[in-house]
Amino acid sequence: MMKVTPFLMFEGNAEEAMNYYTSLIEGSKITSIVRYGANESGTEGSVMQASFTLKDQEFMCIDSNVKHQFTFTPSFSIFLTCDSEEEIDRLYSSLTDGGQVMMPLGDYFFSKKFGWVSDKFGVSWQLTLPI
């Protein structure tokens, strides 16, 4: 069965990012982690491949053992529709800690409360509270 799964490539902090995201978002969990072993192509113990869910959306990730000339870009973002004002405020505050604000949390014509941030791992998030 064909399916589409967002895939995130980290440079050594995939497990930290997964733990962070699943702790912030209710109903989220890490579903599998395969680690590099001794004498394999990646750093021993780092994430060879992992899966996690955020509000029932599956994601995959890895720790790249190759340093690239690129990282995450805001042109791809995780768009998260929040259930309450308390949730959007909490997520915005947490994700901006060590990150960067791209659009401040506010009332926009398309959402009664919206914010766009890049978190401490460089992943871009759009948070919205529907009208």
- Domains of the chain, by residue range, sit at 7-63, 77-129
Query: Of all residues in the chain, what percent carry a pLDDT higher than 90?
Result: 85
Number of other CB atoms surrounding residue 101 within 10 Å: 13
CATH code linked to domain 7-63: 3.30.720.100
Q: Note whether 59 and 8 are within 8 A (CB).
A: yes
Three-state SS sequence of the chain: CCCCCCEEEECCCHHHHHHHHHHHCCCCEEEEEEECCCCCCCCCCCEEEEEEEECCEEEEEEECCCCCCCCCCCCCEEEEECCCHHHHHHHHHHHHCCCEEEEEEEEECCEEEEEEEECCCCCEEEEEECC
Q: Note whether 52 and 61 are within 8 A (CB).
A: yes
Q: What is the pLDDT of residues 81-104, one digit of tens each?
A: 999 999 999 999 999 999 999 999
CATH code linked to domain 77-129: 3.30.720.110
pLDDT (0 to 100) of residue 2: 87
How confident is residue 67, by pLDDT bands cut at 50, 70 and 90?
Answer: confident
Judge whether residue 15 has pLDDT over 90. yes
pTM for the whole thing?
0.91
Domains 7-63 and 77-129 alike in fold = yes
